[in-house]
Chain A
Amino acid sequence: MSKEAQMRAAINQKLIEMGERERLKELLRAKLVECGWRDQLKAHCKDVIREKGLEHVTVEDLVTEITPKGRALVPDSVKKELLQRIRAFLAQHSAL
């Protein structure tokens, strides 16, 4: 594993251990609902389902269709805030 991947894994572990990952998830969830991201993607999901037909669509289809759009639509402010939180967390638990 590359050095970067190792660091990622280590950070992830720390986040899970301290329960911070769950908190960040909830924060992100709330922010994405507030800014309308969730509704946008929900609408997109409905379009995909309509296209593929309700009987034949699988979760995989939706994931493949939605993921790129979802990633692109996250507002910069939300990304910034999450990043800030993670940085602050790492600063506090600097034994990393």
Chain B
Amino acid sequence: MSPAGCAHVNGYKVDNWKQNLRVIYQCFVWSGTAETRRRKAKSCICHMCGAHLNRLHSCLYCVFFGCFAKKHIHEHAKTKRHNLAIDLLYGGIYCFVCQDYIYDKDMEQIAKEEQRKAWKLQGSVPHMFTLHQCSLGVGEKFSTWEPTKRELELLRHNPKRRKITSNCTIGLRGLINLGNTCFMNCIVQALTHTPLLRDFFLSDRHKCEMQSNSCLVCEMSQLFQEFYSGHRSPHIPFRLLHLVWTHARHLAGYEQQDAHEFLIAALDVLHRHCKGDDNGKKANNPNHCNCIIDQIFTGGLQSDVTCQVCHGVSTTIDPFWDISLDLPGSSTPFWPLSPGSDGTTVNGESHLTGSTTLTDCLRRFTRPEHLGSSAKIKCGGCHSYQESTKQLTMKKLPIVACFHLKRFEHSAKLRRKITTYVSFPLELDMTPFMASSKESRMNGQYQQTVDVLNNDNKYSLFAVVNHQGTLESGHYTSFIRQHRDQWFKCDDAIITKASIKDVLDSEGYLLFYHKQFLEYE
């Protein structure tokens, strides 16, 4: 069973054997075109008994098909002294002298090429029959990686192997502050530790279609390379800063900026620059892009406006990348909620007397709001302006949910920072805030028993961005999660290990949650 085949193959390898072998593969083993399929259907039967099952083999020396199981091909081989046959199901070559399948490198190469060819052809054939969308248009058939000569050479010259152990710090790297750029550094830390984004960039999935050198996605790709290079010295993100200034002018300059604004601007530019990665969908509909940013960050927010007179509901669904939550102590009134007012403790948050939780903020965000008499909406049912209530719920949850606690108040009267402590959980269940939950509540199922089996809406915290100081002068730091349960504090160039308690006790400004279970669509 050596890869050099057996000695008996050499008798076959004469004249135009390669072409002959190819023809056999194309016509009788892997038939790509309709014509070859028809021929295969008609002619692939045993010349002795007419059966098409029983592991049909074809003689390599002449036109003879015979059953393997019933030994018809064996008889042929003996009488005609034709020692080689090919299995019509799988393309293997059998040698009757060795009495086993043999693996000749040249023949294997031909087999692989013909199989790939046939697959490609079958993928593009329009077939009328589509009970399931199980089409062969899946692209290339999976085959295990076989290194080329060049790759073997490279592997031999570079014997050092990188191993990821539990205390490995790969992926962690500090970022130099280039002048009040801590707002950018924190977001970069959060993005480089978003698992799906990391996987996208480390598998080289970005195909750049921008002519100039100013593609932010390419720069992100470079950034990931820097973070996972294993270098422990801090990285200087000057190119990133320059690109950000070029594409988001409002963030240019050396003053301290808002990390949340930077996040949205960065996601926007990345989304726009992902032109090559979405199969042209963006050109057709900018709201239904399939780029990696949309796949990870875009959710759908449902807004229901109910007319108080006719109770007709008008629904719109808007895409969102983050949820901005009002806090108690701001000038907009916060609905006073006592902890566990529904009789259920949601998400196991610590309800220290009087402290607000993330769930409280979300409950407030999704409560029905009565739009006063000064804000009447034109009702389609009543055909006149009526008072109404508006309610926001989550229609579609993104894979990464980013919560923005509105700590910076910029009202006409005052500009200040709200430092109220908001406790947030490590694990978050978004089920109570979904549009579907609201519907079941309205249908009378008020008691929301947390469905333990429904894993769709469960999230885990993986990054927290914090702001210390005042509106005038402050500093951003972040906590990021590594290896499932290890947390690290990123303060520009300084990375230190942190405990979960440190993370959960921090003030919290931007909270990044990742879906725990990913399903196929």
The winner among A5, A19, A88 for most chain B CB atoms within 10 A is: A19
What is the distance, in angstroms, from A60's C-beta to the closest C-beta of chain B? 7
Which chain B residue lies CB-closest to A20? B129
Chain A residues whose CB sits within 8 angstroms of the CB of B81 once the complex forms: none
Interface digits, A1-35 against B, CB 8 Å rule (1 contact, 0 not)?
A: 10001001100111011111011001100000000
18 contacts between A and B (CB under 8 A): A1-B50, A9-B50, A12-B52, A16-B40, A16-B41, A17-B34, A17-B41, A19-B37, A19-B127, A19-B136, A20-B127, A26-B136, A27-B132, A58-B99, A58-B100, A59-B101, A85-B132, A88-B131
Q: Which of B73-102 contact A (CB under 8 A)?
A: 92, 99-101
Residue numbers in B under 8 Å from A23 (CB-CB): 127, 134-136
- In the bound assembly, the distance between CA atoms of A88 and B132 in angstroms comes to 11
Whether A18 contacts B42 by the Cβ 8 Å rule is: no
On chain A, the residues within 8 Å of B122 by CB distance are 19, 22
B38 at the interface (CB under 8 A from A): yes
Contacts of B101 in A (CB 8 A): 59
Contacts of A13 in B (CB 8 A): 41-42
Chain B residue with Cβ nearest A26? B136
Contacts of A5 in B (CB 8 A): 50-51
Separation of A1 and B132 alpha carbons in the complex (Å):
34
Which residues of A (29-77) have their CB < 8 Å from a CB of B?
Answer: 58-60
- By secondary structure, the A interface counts as helix
Besides the known contacts A18-B127, A18-B129, 18 further A-B residue pairs in the complex with CB atoms under 8 A apart: A1-B50, A5-B50, A5-B51, A8-B52, A8-B53, A12-B41, A14-B41, A17-B38, A19-B34, A19-B122, A19-B125, A20-B129, A22-B136, A23-B134, A23-B135, A26-B134, A85-B131, A89-B131
Answer yes or no: A92 CB below 8 A from chain B CBs. Answer: yes
Q: Is the CB of A27 within 8 A of B100?
A: no
Evaluate whether A60 and B131 lie within 8 angstroms (CB atoms) in the complex, with A5-B51, A12-B41, A13-B41 already known. Answer: no
B35-49 vs A, Cβ < 8 Å mask (1 yes, 0 no): 001101110110000
Query: What bracket does the count of chain A residues touching chain B fall in?
Result: 20 to 34
Our pick among A8, A16, A92 for the contact of B37 (Cβ within 8 Å) is: A16
Chain B residues at the A interface, C-beta cutoff of 8 Å = 31, 34, 37-38, 40-42, 44-45, 50-53, 92, 99-101, 122, 125, 127-129, 131-132, 134-136
Let me know if A17 and B99 touch, CB within 8 A: no
Within 8 Å by CB of A27, from B31, B42, B52, B134, lies: B134
What residues of A have a CB within 8 angstroms of the CB of B38 in the complex? 17
Contacts of A58 in B (CB 8 A): 99-100
Interface bits A79-90 vs B (CB < 8 Å: 1, else 0): 000000100110
Cα separation A14 to B100 with both chains bound (whole Å): 32
In angstroms, how far is the closest chain B Cβ from the Cβ of A65? 15
Bound form: Cα–Cα A79–B382 in Å: 57
Once the chains bind, are A9 and B129 in contact (CB under 8 Å)?
no
Task: Compute how far the CA of A61 lies from the CA of B165 in the bound complex, rounded to whole angstroms.
Answer: 42
Smallest beta-carbon distance A93→chain B, Å: 8
Contacts of B44 in A (CB 8 A): 16
How far in angstroms is the closest Cβ of chain A from B74? 11
Q: Which residues of A contact B128 (CB under 8 A)?
A: 92
CA–CA, A76 to B189, complex, Å?
50
Kindly list chain B residues whose C-beta atoms are within 8 Å of the C-beta of A88.
131
A63 to B129, CA, bound (A): 34
Closest CB in chain B relative to A76 CB, distance in Å: 19
Q: Please tell me if the beta carbons of B37 and A9 are within 8 angstroms of each other in the complex.
A: no
- For B136, list chain A residues within 8 Å (CB): 19, 22-23, 26
A19 to chain B, nearest CB (A): 6
Which chain B residues lie closer than 8 Å to A20 at the CB level?
127, 129
* CB pair B129 A60 closer than 8 Å: no
* B285: min CB distance to chain A, Å: 31
- B31 nearest in chain A by CB position: A16
Which of A8, A18, A58, A93 gathers the greatest number of chain B CB atoms within 10 Å? Answer: A18
Q: Which residues of A contact B100 (CB under 8 A)?
A: 58-60
B370 to chain A, nearest CB (A): 51
Nearest to A24 among chain B residues (CB) is B134
In the bound complex, CA of A13 to CA of B53 (Å): 12
Cβ contact within 8 Å between A60 and B51: no
Shortest Cβ gap from B321 to chain A (Å): 35
- Give the shortest distance, in Å, between A31 (CB) and chain B (any CB): 10
Question: Are A92's CB and B41's CB within 8 A?
Answer: no
Q: How many whole Å from B86's CB to the nearest CB in chain A?
A: 14
Expressed in whole angstroms, the minimum distance between the Cβ of B314 and any Cβ of chain A is: 43
**Contact residues in A for B99 (Cβ distance below 8 Å):** 58, 60
CA of A12 to CA of B370 in the docked complex: distance in angstroms? Answer: 67
Complexed CA–CA distance, A75 and B37 (Å): 30
Complex CA gap A14/B127 in Å reads: 14
Q: Return the chain A residue nearest B51 by Cβ.
A: A5
What separation, in Å, do the CA atoms of A10 and B240 have in the docked complex?
Answer: 65
Minimum CB–CB distance for B56 against chain A, Å: 11
> In the assembled complex, how far is the CB of residue A38 from the closest CB belonging to chain B, in whole angstroms?
13
What chain A residues lie within 8 Å of B125 (beta carbons)? Answer: 19
Residues of chain A within 8 A (CB-CB) of B134 are: 23, 26-27
Residues in chain A near residue B129, CB distance under 8 A: 18, 20, 89, 92-93
